[in-house]
Amino acid sequence: MKNYYLVCFATLIAVLFMTPRVSADDGEVCVKCHKAVTPLLVKDWQSSEHSANDVYCNECHGSDHKSKKTVHLVQFPDEATCGDCHEEQFEQFAKGKHNFGWTSLNALPIIHLEPDELMEGGKGCGGCHNMGIKSEAQKKELRDKGYCYRNNSCDECHTRHTFSKKEAQDPKACQTCHMGFDHPQWEMYESSKHGERYHMKERGRLPKDAAAPTCQFCHLPNGTHTNKVAWGFLGVRLPLLEDKQWAADQTTILKALGVMDPDGKPTGRLGAVKAVDMVRLTEEDWQSERKKMIKTCKKCHSSKYALGELAKGDQMIKKADRLMAEAINAVAALYKDGILKKPKHYAYAYPDFLHFYQTGGSHIDQVLFTMYMKHRMRTYQGVFHANPDYAYWYGWAAMTKDLDQIKEMAESLRDKPK
């Protein structure tokens, strides 16, 4: 009997240590298969910190997918999956404006009029605005529609499967989303003195410890994942400012954004704007973000200089808003006087910036939208990003040209026989 137990024990040892283990939970099985199926993704993973720390495929994708027949069972990790290990970063991300990309996209009244292919996945607006934590109900709705949406936001900056911290801290990681028509922050930064010094340092033409601010240095300092700015994307704030003219001009802009109706009463859009944290709603919140930026600026500049430069940006918003309000009022008067007919998708007979370019609108509306979303953005963002050319030629000068064109068109429309 004793020999029988010895034989059983020896057999068990042989099975455990000599027979290859092919458990679905063993990430090595995933790696072995995917070396043939997706070899470059495996190479990305092999170069990652995940690989160095034995975080295998099944940690994120689950173990239900075992063969080609069960590929539909693979799990696609979301932000919460990353948060299981990176809890602090997940909580920071949840508080920042990147988390509201998806919500803000879907809050726009124009979205259902645009081609689905430009909204759902890696194309058009959806290419960047897929960012944001989605509820299970939202995910189900997207799957039911057959949308190819992005399940995770973390890999927008830490692209899979390297998930590199160094990549996410490079300003080029911001380029894909923060460029172009309505927010050319990359172009502004790249051609500013800040960006020029970064590129020179990268090429070894400046000392390794030379000051060369990146996007992340200013907007995600110390590795935080919570990104906010004082003025927000729309360049408006609440409560309204003490300067009566500026307050009136910002009110006019809020009407054109549909946050207020033509009579100045709040609309349902105000709740949507608040929900996605697009504007600072108290003086304390605005000052808090401004102080954070001053603290960052002080690493290279004096407080006096930093305060002065940011104040110039504030003043350019004020001056740009004066031009903007004059243009909006000129177009609004055409609606009020019945010279322009309200498009069927407008809530009010009033300019509506959140409907973009649509057939059935008027050319003067389109020029007005370009003035706001393209040229006003460049005017003040060019100052804040220390880019003189964008602030003047692509911003302020273009706004003055827009205003002259709108006035001329408005006069021509009024003179045109009915």
- What per-residue confidence (pLDDT) applies to 141? 83
Q: Is residue 71 part of a domain?
A: no
CA angle, 39 then 43 then 46, to 5°: 135
Nearest to 293 by CA among 234, 228, 376, 241: 228
Contacts of 175 (CB under 8 A, 6+ apart): 186
Q: With b meaning 16 or more CB within 10 Å and e meaning fewer, what string describes 110-149?
A: bbeeeeeeebbbeeebbbbbbbbbbeeeeeeebeeeebeb
- What per-residue confidence (pLDDT) applies to 356? 85
Tell me how far apart the alpha carbons of residues 404 and 326 are, in angstroms, rounded to a whole number. 10
Structural domain count, the chain: 3
Regarding whether 337 and 408 lie in a shared domain, the answer is: yes
Regarding whether 308 and 197 lie in a shared domain, the answer is: no
Q: Is residue 327 part of a domain?
A: yes
Q: Is residue 308 part of a domain?
A: yes
Regarding whether 372 and 358 lie in a shared domain, the answer is: yes
| C-beta of residue 364 within 8 angstroms of C-beta of residue 406 | yes
Mean pLDDT for back-to-back runs of 10 residues, the chain (418 residues):
48 42 63 94 96 94 91 93 97 95 87 83 85 88 79 94 96 95 95 97 95 96 95 91 96 96 94 88 95 96 97 97 98 97 92 85 93 97 96 98 98 86
Regarding whether 378 and 352 lie in a shared domain, the answer is: yes
Q: Is residue 245 part of a domain?
A: yes
Domain range for 112 is 78-169
Regarding whether 407 and 320 lie in a shared domain, the answer is: yes
Q: Is residue 50 part of a domain?
A: no
Regarding whether 254 and 382 lie in a shared domain, the answer is: yes
Q: What is the token pair recorded at 273?
A: 């704007």
Regarding whether 220 and 237 lie in a shared domain, the answer is: no
Regarding whether 316 and 382 lie in a shared domain, the answer is: yes
User: Is-above-0.85 flag for pTM?
Assistant: yes
Regarding whether 324 and 391 lie in a shared domain, the answer is: yes
Regarding whether 254 and 218 lie in a shared domain, the answer is: no
Give the bridge partners for 260, in sequence order: 266
Regarding whether 403 and 343 lie in a shared domain, the answer is: yes
Regarding whether 246 and 210 lie in a shared domain, the answer is: no
